[in-house]
Amino acid sequence: MAKGKRRQITLEDVARHLGISKATVSLALNNSPLVAHSTKIRVTEAAEALGYRPNYFAANLSKGKSDVIGLFILEGEEGACNWALSSSWMFYNPILKSVVSTLSQKGYRLQLEVISIDGATNCGVLAHSIQDGSLDGILLLVQDDLDYKFLSIAQRMQFPLVVMNAQIDLDISSVRTGNELGASRVVEYLVDLGHTKIAHIGGPERDLNALERKSGFLRAMSAANLNVSGDYVKLGDWQIQSGSKLARDLMALNRPPTAICCANDHMAVGAIRTLQQLGYKVPEDVSVVGYDDTEMCVVVTPNLTTVRQSLEEMGEASAREVLRQIEEGTVSTRRINLEPELVIRHSVSPIA
């Protein structure tokens, strides 16, 4: 054993410490009705004190495979996910389709569940799914910026798990897109065309995608030595109506912007609609950029310049990563960052 490296505590260690059989310890930790409640408490406390961490792969040898992967969509604060809304579904749908396709090729089925933050953090929905043996792995599609320490059980049990759409502090594999990079490229493109009065319509304040896109916008503006007035940064809710309202607010300013960066395509479509209603020409008077490259971009006039993030690739990469962990019997961490692409259409023009 290498010097300074601690030996992993086993079931035998816990059993020896308590003077009971290994089988009793195993049954107690799995909450078996065959073991007295007082014994379960003794075993649980001893396991915690000794630092015993159950190993998913070892346990799975006796339980067998379920051939089911759980995909949990973690909704936002106070049920704010709205994942079935059209703007949200255009984000989730390509991810789900590619996950299902990739898993089915390997003979796995998908179990889909939308859970609340309270269900994940306080009710232990994910912990129960990990411990009951009904799933071979988990994909967690996250939305909000919050404390993800409730996932530490996956680390302790070495359970196959991949976080989608974010990179969290825990040593857990993740797949995400470069939101900051995409937003930065939008600003750089507008600056190259002579724009200096550039506004930003973002998403909900705790949404991870919205936070990263806003950060990329502000970073690129700073790099271009452009000051950003607080009046130029608005927070929407991803819907067309909020893009319409906030564009109206921006154009009512004493110094209205010549370009508006929207954090998704729906809000950009709303902004274009309002600008045209107010008598502005897009892009001659005001340029508008979206984000996501949904089908909305080519049905609005003018066609929308936007940022394409490969959501299908996110789903496929996430599914392949959880399958790798299962097949190799290891949860060695991988961070996969997908690069966005600026798609230039007709809603942006050089400053007059």
pLDDT digits (tens, 9 = 90+) for 63-89: 557 789 999 998 765 545 556 566 677
User: Please, are residues 351 and 285 in contact by the beta-carbon 8 Å criterion?
Assistant: no
**What pLDDT does 3 receive?**
45
Evaluate if residue 179 carries a pLDDT over 90: yes
Terminal alpha carbon distance of the chain: 71
- Overall average pLDDT of the 167-192 stretch: 94
What is the sign, positive or negative, of the torsion defined by CA atoms of 283, 232, 254, 249? positive
Cβ–Cβ contacts within 10 Å for residue 12, how many?
11
- For the residues 201-214, what does the mean pLDDT come to? 93
Measuring CA to CA, which residue among 272, 267, 261 is closest to residue 237? 267
**What is the reported pLDDT for 125?**
85
Please, what CATH class does the domain formed by 179-309 belong to? Answer: alpha beta
| DSSP SS3 for 144 | strand
Residues 44-63: tens digit of each pLDDT: 888 888 878 665 555 554 45
Percent of the chain's residues with pLDDT above 90: 59
List strand residue ranges (DSSP E) for the chain, in order: 68-74, 109-115, 137-141, 161-164, 173-177, 198-202, 233-235, 259-262, 287-289, 306-308, 335-338, 341-343
């809603």: which residue's tokens? 347
Q: Can you give the pLDDT at residue 137? A: 94
Q: Where do the DSSP E strands lie in 263-334?
A: 287-289, 306-308
Q: Which pLDDT value is given to residue 54? A: 66
Q: What is the CATH number of domain 65-177+311-338?
A: 3.40.50.2300
Cα 321 to Cα 28, 114, 138, 148, 326, distances in angstroms:
32, 21, 11, 20, 9
Same fold, 65-177+311-338 and 179-309: yes
Class of domain 1-50: mainly alpha
Give the contacts of 27 (CB within 8 A, at least 6 positions apart): 34, 35
Domain boundaries, the chain: 1-50, 65-177+311-338, 179-309
